[in-house]
């Protein structure tokens, strides 16, 4: 039948002897314990949030130094979030900010793939509709790695 040989005997002996390893089960994690994954995840999330806020602040200042007016930050709709919207003359810049403390998980610019681009486009349509703003829209991606800002204008 093509299934292969299945032995009739158990794969390991059954019993309660000391020489047999019993079934292992992980208990519920102890909240606040020294090895609590919950606290580690919370600390990591807080660190990432601080890193993201600092990166967005750096990028907003950069746009302002180039003569743009930052009109929205962390604007949300049900279809997505826009990190920064900056305007100069009739150009509306929608900027996605990516922050990384290093490049071990890829560069920040590599993190803005097709799915994220589509989400940003939909959120931008929502923002334009909500604000009534008109002009030429440009999508930039700003990468902040170890405090260094790199902006790719018209990234997509």
Tell me what the pLDDT averaged over the chain comes to: 85
Full set of structural domains in the chain with CATH: 37-152 (3.40.1350.10)
pLDDT per position as a tens digit, 83-102: 999 999 999 999 999 988 77
- 78, 127 Cβ separation under 8 angstroms: no
pLDDT at 36 over 80: no
Taking the C-alpha atoms of residue 132 and residue 152, their distance in angstroms, rounded to an integer, is 26
Q: Give the model's pLDDT for residue 111.
A: 83
The larger pLDDT score, comparing residue 121 to residue 100, is at 121
97 within 8 A of 85, measured Cβ to Cβ? no
What pLDDT was estimated at residue 105?
Answer: 72
Does the pLDDT value for residue 22 go beyond 70?
no
**Separation CA 83–CA 7 (nearest Å):** 59
Instruction: For residue 117, report the phi and psi dihedrals to the nearest 5 degrees.
Output: -60, -45
| Inter-residue contact 83 to 96 (CB < 8 Å) | yes
99 against 13, higher pLDDT: 99
What's the CA gap between 97 and 62, in Å, rounded? 12
pLDDT at position 125: 98
pLDDT confidence band for 110 (50 / 70 / 90): confident
- Report the pLDDT averaged over residues 121-130: 98
Work out the average pLDDT over 49-77. 96
């Amino acid at each position: 039948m093509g299934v292969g040989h299945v032995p009739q005997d158990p794969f390991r002996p059954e019993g309660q002897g000391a020489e047999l390893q019993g079934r292992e089960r992980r208990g519920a994690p102890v909240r606040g314990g020294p090895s609590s994954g919950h606290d580690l995840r919370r600390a990591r999330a807080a660190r990432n949030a601080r890193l993201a806020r600092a990166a967005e602040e750096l990028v907003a200042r950069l746009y302002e130094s180039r003569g743009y007016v930052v009109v929205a930050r962390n604007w949300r709709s049900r279809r997505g979030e826009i990190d920064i919207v900056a305007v100069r003359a009739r150009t509306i810049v929608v900027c996605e900010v990516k922050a990384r403390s290093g490049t071990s998980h890829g560069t920040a610019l590599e993190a803005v793939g097709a799915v994220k681009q589509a989400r940003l486009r939909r959120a931008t349509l929502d923002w334009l509709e909500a604000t009534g703003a008109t002009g030429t829209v440009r999508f930039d991606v700003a990468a902040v790695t170890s405090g260094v800002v790199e902006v790719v204008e018209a990234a997509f």
